[in-house]
Amino acid sequence: MKHYIPDHLIEEIRSRSDILEVVSANLILKKSGQNYKGLCPFHSEKTPSFTVSPEKQIYHCFGCGAGGNVFKFIMEMEDLSFLDVVKKLAGKCGVELPNPKSGKSSARQNEREMLLSINEKARAYFVRLLKDDEGGRAAKEYLKSRNFYDENLLAEYGIGWAAPGWKDILIHLQNKEKYSRTDLLRAGLIKQKEGAEEGNCYDRFRGRIMFPFKDIHGSLIAFAGRVIGDDEPKYLNSPETPLYVKGKHLFGLDRAREAIRKQNRVLIMEGYFDQMRARQHGIRNTVATCGTALTPAQATLLKNHTSRTTLIFDSDSAGQAAAERGFGVLLEEGLSVEVLSLPKGHDPDSYIQQFGPEKFLEELKNARPFVESYIINTIESGDISTPAGKMEVVNIVLPLLTRIKNTVERSEWVRVLTERAELDDQAILAELKNAIKQDRNVARPPTKIDERPGKQNPELYIVHLMLADKKLALQVKDELPTDKFEDSNLRQIIELFYQLIDEGCELRVDLAIDRVKEPAIKTLLSKIGIEPIPFDDQERSTNDCIQAINKRSLDLKIEEIKKQRNEALIAGESERSQQLQDQLHELRSTLMPGQIPA
DSSP 329-379: HHHHTT-EEEE--PPTT--HHHHHHHH-HHHHHHHHTT-EEHHHHHHHHHH
The 10s digit of each residue's pLDDT in 180-206 is 999 999 999 999 988 778 878 999 999
Confidence of residue 225 (pLDDT cuts 50, 70, 90): very high
- The answer to which of 64-73, 117-126, 418-427, 512-521 has the lowest mean pLDDT is 418-427
The model's confidence at residue 494, banded by pLDDT at 50, 70 and 90, is very high
Q: What pLDDT shows up at residue 124? A: 97
**What confidence tens digit (pLDDT) does each residue in 105-124 have?**
556 667 888 999 999 999 99
Q: Taking a C-beta distance cutoff of 8 angstroms, is the pair 170, 201 a contact? A: yes
**pLDDT tens, residue by residue, 291-306:** 778 998 899 888 877 8
pLDDT band for 472, please (50, 70, 90 cuts). Answer: very high
The pLDDT, as a whole number, for residue 498 is 93
Average pLDDT in the 232-245 region? 92
Confidence class of residue 454 from pLDDT cuts 50, 70 and 90? very low
Report the distance separating Cα 217 and Cα 348, nearest Å. Answer: 25
User: Has residue 453 got a pLDDT over 80?
Assistant: no
pTM above 0.75, yes or no: no
| DSSP three-state, residue 98 | coil
Which residues, other chains included, contact 322 with Cβ-Cβ below 8 Å and sequence gap of 6+?
270, 289, 293, 294, 313
Beta-carbon-side half-sphere exposure of residue 107 (alpha carbons within 13 Å): 3
Return the SS3 of 233. Answer: coil
Amino acid letter at 483?
Answer: D
Q: Is the pLDDT of residue 588 over 80?
A: no
Does the pLDDT of residue 392 top 90, yes or no?
no
Domains of the chain: 7-93 (3.90.580.10), 104-237 (3.90.980.10), 253-366 (3.40.1360.10), 374-442 (1.20.50), 450-598 (1.10.860.10)
Is there a contact between 383 and 389 (Cβ–Cβ < 8 Å)?
Answer: yes
**Shortest CA distance to 495 belongs to which of 483, 503, 513?**
483
Residue 598, pLDDT score: 39
Distances (CA, A) of 595 to 546, 589, 590: 15, 10, 10
Shortest CA distance to 465 belongs to which of 453, 480, 451, 448? 480
The per-residue pLDDT for 451 is 37
State the DSSP code for 238. P
Taking a C-beta distance cutoff of 8 angstroms, is the pair 340, 352 a contact?
no
User: Does residue 62 contact residue 39 with C-beta atoms inside 8 Å?
Assistant: no
> Residue 544: what residue type?
D
At 104 the pLDDT is 53
Over the Cα atoms of the chain, what is R_g?
Answer: 30
pLDDT, tens only, 48-80: 899 999 999 999 999 888 999 999 999 888 777
**Buried b / exposed e along 46-65 (16+ C-beta atoms within 10 A):** eebbbbbbeebbbbbbbbbb
Structural contact between residues 413 and 395, judged by C-beta atoms closer than 8 angstroms:
no
Give the pLDDT score at 445. 28
CA-wise closest residue to 208 among 293, 115, 314, 122: 122
Residue 561 and residue 548: Cα distance in Å, rounded?
A: 20
CB count, 10 Å around CB of 76? 19
Pairwise pLDDT comparison (206 vs 453), residue with the higher score: 206
Instruction: Write the CA distances from 308 to 155, 333, 400, integer angstroms.
Output: 30, 11, 19
Between the alpha carbon of residue 173 and those of residues 214, 323, 351, the distances in Å are: 20, 40, 40
Q: What per-residue confidence (pLDDT) applies to 303?
A: 82
Which pLDDT belongs to residue 592?
44
Closest CA to 461 of 494, 422, 429: 494
Q: What is the pLDDT of residue 432?
A: 56
Fill in the DSSP letter of residue 251: B
Positive or negative, the Cα torsion across 397, 400, 404, 409? negative
Report the chain's mean pLDDT, rounded to a whole number: 85
Sign of CA dihedral 470, 471, 472, 474: positive
Whats the size of the chain, residue-wise?
Answer: 598
What is the three-class DSSP state of 494?
helix
| pLDDT for residue 459 is more than 70 | yes
First to last CA, the chain: 50
Range 527-564 burial, b when 16+ CB lie within 10 A, else e: bbbbeeeebeeeeebbeebbebbbbebbeeebeebbeb
Q: CA–CA separation, 90 vs 96, rounded Å?
A: 7
pLDDT of residue 582: 75
Residue 584 one-letter amino acid: L
**d(C-alpha 340, C-alpha 267), whole Å:** 9
| DSSP one-letter code for 264 | T
Instruction: Return the percentage of the chain with pLDDT > 70, whole number.
Output: 90
User: HEC states along 230-262?
Assistant: CCCCCEEECCCCCCCCCCCCCECHHHHHHHHHH
User: Could you tell me how far CA 191 lies from the centroid of its own chain?
Assistant: 32
Q: Give the pLDDT score at 106.
A: 57
Tell me the C-alpha distance between 224 and 159, whole Å: 10
As a whole-number percent, the residues of the chain with pLDDT over 90 amount to 44
How far apart are alpha carbons 134 and 40 in whole angstroms? 55
Please name the residue ranges forming H helices in 480-515: 488-502, 509-515
Among 116-130, 255-269, 272-286, which is the least confidently predicted range?
255-269
Asked whether the predicted pLDDT for residue 393 surpasses 70, the reply is yes
Which of 104-113, 414-423, 569-578 has the weakest average pLDDT? 104-113
Q: Quote the CA–CA distance of 110 and 115 in Å, as a whole number.
A: 9
* pLDDT value for 166: 94
Cis previous bond, 233, omega within 30 = yes
> Residue 579, Cβ neighbours under 10 Å: how many?
15
